[in-house]
Amino acid sequence: MSQPVDSAVSDVRTYIENHRAAFLDDLVAWLRIPSVSAQPEHTADVRRSADWLAAKLKETGFPTVEVWETPGAPAVFAEWPAEDADAPTVLVYGHHDVQPAAREDGWDTEPFEPVIRGNRLHARGAADDKGQVFFHTLGIRAHLAATGSTAPAVHLKMLIEGEEESGSPHFRTLVENHAERLTTDAVIVSDTGMWAEDTPTVCTGMRGLAECEIQLYGPGQDIHSGSFGGAVPNPATAAARLVAALHDEHARVAIPGFYDGIVELTDRERELFAELPFDEERWLRTAKSTATHGEAGHTTLERVWARPTAEVNGIGGGYQGPGSKTIIPSSARVKLSFRLVAGQDPDHIEKIVRAWAADRIPAGIGHEITFSGATRPCLTPLDHPALQAVVRAMGRAFEQPIRYTREGGSGPAADLQDVLAAPVLFLGISVPSDGWHAPNEKVELDLLFKGVETSAYLWGELSASSREAH
């Protein structure tokens, strides 16, 4: 770990301690706004949440704060230039909308009436994502106080969207429309978590996603399996044979070209994954599964974080009601999703899946394949200077070694990476027990303030790593 760069740890901690109560009061006020983007009855609340955040960012000191409209819910953009024109630019991403929540879903208290019990602040959005957006406001102020500056050490931008919990339907267009305003050297995504309370980690990448539906057409209508069975092709059989052919006997994806060009895990990354205190039995309980199963030659963590997959998300065809019906169904369909890793291009995946399917569907069965919007994978190499800056900032806050994880899911961060051509770094202090999307969502207060502290160090570390890189 390097030495402090721009401020003494003690100055930062003192500042945070002095502003802790007011910070929590503010966060609680924000959490009271039920900014549920998926529920039309909360449309006004999502806007209120955007306006509240905009006002608070103004109050934090951002000279420019704007509410950006979309065809759906508004996003908040804020910009605070560094004094040094040559300082690097950093864009913080998060979201101000939240998942639906109702007391009757199993909450012990009202989800939009935040309560602090011991070290925990319970409320919908406490961890996902208001808490993790908001810790930057105090972090930035602590950074200024400790450095005696009036502007941050980097050109700081924030983009806090309002539709993440609804699938970010307008996010890519928003980023494309404002690409010039959003230009940045690095993106800090504050919408993830870390391994565990006692194991601070930084995430280095997310998998991408390609999705398709394959429709298979057989007889013009359901036909009698007695009269015709055994003599014409069955589209449900064709669907099943496609799904069965997705993987070889080593559980590797068997679509020709699927692994072309992928960035393989380095030995160092595999070692780092293996050092994590991973309890497979516990993981299986989280997965509500009784056995692991996956690509030969890889551990479970490697499989979910760093290996591409082909999964069937849905399959259907023929009679699915009670009892039996002796038909050859007229059609069947499968929904497939492919998780992608760095080096895989969704357009290439679409091309090879189409060729593979066409090649395997028998004569007499028609088919149609529809791909929906894809998400690219993102990955920052371990030695990337900006990643190391995040690690140093977290290390100073946590006073512990920072380990590395990845994220198996896919998210709008990839749109930022794509459109802005900038590396994406993940800074999150949430832990698996926080209950994202679940009843009794909470954030651990000590971790929340470690987030504040990390943010206080981050801008100086990023500025320093940029200087080193040049």
**How would DSSP label each residue in 235-279?**
HHHHHHHHHHTTB-TTS-B-STTTTTT--PPPHHHHHHHHHS---
Is 344 among the residues that bind a second copy (CB under 8 A)? no
From 10-18, 67-75, 259-267, 298-306, span contacting a second copy (CB under 8 A): 298-306
**Is there a contact between 234 and 435 (Cβ–Cβ < 8 Å)?**
no
Is 297 among the residues that bind a second copy (CB under 8 A)? no
Nearer to a second copy, 24 or 357 (CB): 357
**How would DSSP label each residue in 143-161?**
HHHHHT-SS-SSEEEEEEE
Instruction: Tell me the per-residue interface mask from 132 to 171 with a second copy, x by CB under 8 A, - otherwise.
Output: ----------------------------------------
Nearer to a second copy, 392 or 406 (CB): 406
Nearer to a second copy, 373 or 401 (CB): 373
**Is there a contact between 337 and 361 (Cβ–Cβ < 8 Å)?**
no
**Is there a contact between 189 and 393 (Cβ–Cβ < 8 Å)?**
no
Which of 312, 352, 369, 438: binder of a second copy (CB under 8 A)?
Answer: 312
Residues 191-220 contacting a second copy, CB under 8 A: 207, 209, 211, 213, 218-220
Q: Taking the complex as a whole, how short is the minimal distance between the CB of residue 372 and a second copy, in angstroms?
A: 6
Q: Which residues contact 120 (CB under 8 A, 6 or more apart)?
A: 442, 443, 444, 445
Residues 406-465 contacting a second copy, CB under 8 A: 407-410
Q: Taking the complex as a whole, how short is the minimal distance between the CB of residue 362 and a second copy, in angstroms?
A: 6
Which of 293, 359, 383, 470: binder of a second copy (CB under 8 A)?
Answer: 293
Q: Taking the complex as a whole, how short is the minimal distance between the CB of residue 424 and a second copy, in angstroms?
A: 16
Beta strand 201-206 with 378-379: parallel, antiparallel or unpaired? antiparallel
Residues 22-61 contacting a second copy, CB under 8 A: none
Is 106 among the residues that bind a second copy (CB under 8 A)? no
Is 266 among the residues that bind a second copy (CB under 8 A)? no
Residue 93: its H or E element: strand 89-95
Is 262 among the residues that bind a second copy (CB under 8 A)? no
Select from 68, 74, 99, 79 the least CA-distant residue to 441: 99
Nearer to a second copy, 63 or 229 (CB): 229
Q: Taking the complex as a whole, how short is the minimal distance between the CB of residue 418 and a second copy, in angstroms?
A: 18
Is 67 among the residues that bind a second copy (CB under 8 A)? no
Is 296 among the residues that bind a second copy (CB under 8 A)? no
Whole-number Å distance between alpha carbons of 210 and 57 = 36
The token pair that represents 379 in the structure block = 């990955």
Which of 63, 256, 261, 364: binder of a second copy (CB under 8 A)?
Answer: 364
Which of 14, 43, 215, 300: binder of a second copy (CB under 8 A)?
Answer: 300
CA dihedral 377, 382, 384, 385 (to 10 degrees): 140
Residues 314-333 contacting a second copy, CB under 8 A: 314-320, 323-330, 332-333
**Is there a contact between 182 and 91 (Cβ–Cβ < 8 Å)?**
yes
Is 239 among the residues that bind a second copy (CB under 8 A)? yes
Type of residue at 93? Y
Whole-number Å distance between alpha carbons of 114 and 127 = 12
**Is there a contact between 366 and 217 (Cβ–Cβ < 8 Å)?**
yes
Select from 102, 109, 95, 113 the least CA-distant residue to 46: 95
Nearer to a second copy, 52 or 356 (CB): 356
Q: Taking the complex as a whole, how short is the minimal distance between the CB of residue 28 and a second copy, in angstroms?
A: 29
**Is there a contact between 296 and 276 (Cβ–Cβ < 8 Å)?**
no
Is 254 among the residues that bind a second copy (CB under 8 A)? no
SS3 191: coil
Q: Taking the complex as a whole, how short is the minimal distance between the CB of residue 433 and a second copy, in angstroms?
A: 15
**Is there a contact between 431 and 447 (Cβ–Cβ < 8 Å)?**
yes
Which of 313, 368, 421, 469: binder of a second copy (CB under 8 A)?
Answer: 313
Residues 382-411 contacting a second copy, CB under 8 A: 407-410
Is 223 among the residues that bind a second copy (CB under 8 A)? yes
Nearer to a second copy, 69 or 213 (CB): 213
CA distances from 55 to 58, 60, 152, 331 (A): 5, 9, 19, 55
